[in-house]
Amino acid sequence: MLENIVEEAIRHKASDIHMTRGLPPVFRIDGQLEQARHFGILGEEDLRRMAESLTDKERYIERKYIDTSFVYSQFRFRVHVFRQRESDAISMRLIPSVIPSIKELNLPESVHGFVNVKSGLILITGRTGCGKSTTLAAIIDDINSNQKKHIITVEDPIEFLHEHKKSMINQKEVGKDVLSFADAVRASMREDPDILLVGEMRDLETIQNAITMAETGHLVFGTLHTKSAAETVDRIIDVFPSNQQGQIRTQFANVIHGILSQELIPGLGGGRIPLCEVLIANNAIRSLIKDNAHPSSINDQLQMNYRRNGSQSIYQALAHLYREKLIDRDTAFEYAGSNDTIREMITGKSS
Q: Check whether residue 84 and residue 124 sit in a common domain.
A: no
Query: Could you tell me if 142 and 166 are in contact, meaning their C-beta atoms sit under 8 angstroms apart?
Result: no
222 found inside a domain: yes
In this predicted structure, what is the pLDDT of residue 351? 41
Q: Which residues fall within 8 angstroms of residue 69, CB to CB, at 6 or more apart?
A: 76, 77, 78, 79, 157, 158, 159
Q: Check whether residue 78 and residue 113 sit in a common domain.
A: no
In this predicted structure, what is the pLDDT of residue 96? 83
Q: Check whether residue 154 and residue 89 sit in a common domain.
A: no
* Cα 168 to Cα 273: distance, rounded to the nearest angstrom: 30
**pTM for the whole thing?**
0.86
* Cα 225 to Cα 297: distance, rounded to the nearest angstrom: 22
Q: What are phi and psi of 78, to 5 degrees?
A: -85, 130
Q: Check whether residue 76 and residue 113 sit in a common domain.
A: no
In this predicted structure, what is the pLDDT of residue 341? 62
* Cα 75 to Cα 166: distance, rounded to the nearest angstrom: 25
In this predicted structure, what is the pLDDT of residue 129? 84
100 found inside a domain: no
Q: Check whether residue 227 and residue 287 sit in a common domain.
A: yes
- 39: DSSP letter: G
Rg (CA), the chain: 21
Q: What is the largest CA-CA distance in the chain?
A: 62
In this predicted structure, what is the pLDDT of residue 249? 97
Whole-Å CA distances, 204 to 114, 188, 241, 248: 25, 17, 9, 11
In this predicted structure, what is the pLDDT of residue 33? 95
Q: Check whether residue 38 and residue 156 sit in a common domain.
A: no
In this predicted structure, what is the pLDDT of residue 306? 77
Q: Check whether residue 132 and residue 21 sit in a common domain.
A: no
Q: Check whether residue 70 and residue 135 sit in a common domain.
A: no
**Average pLDDT, consecutive stretches of 10 residues, N- to C-terminus, the chain (351 residues):** 93 94 95 93 94 88 89 89 94 90 94 96 94 95 98 92 96 91 93 96 94 97 95 96 96 97 92 94 95 90 83 90 90 80 64 41
321 found inside a domain: no
CATH value at residue 37: 3.30.450.90
Residue numbers of the domain that contains 23? 2-95
Whole-Å CA distances, 137 to 16, 80, 131, 264, 332: 18, 20, 10, 16, 27
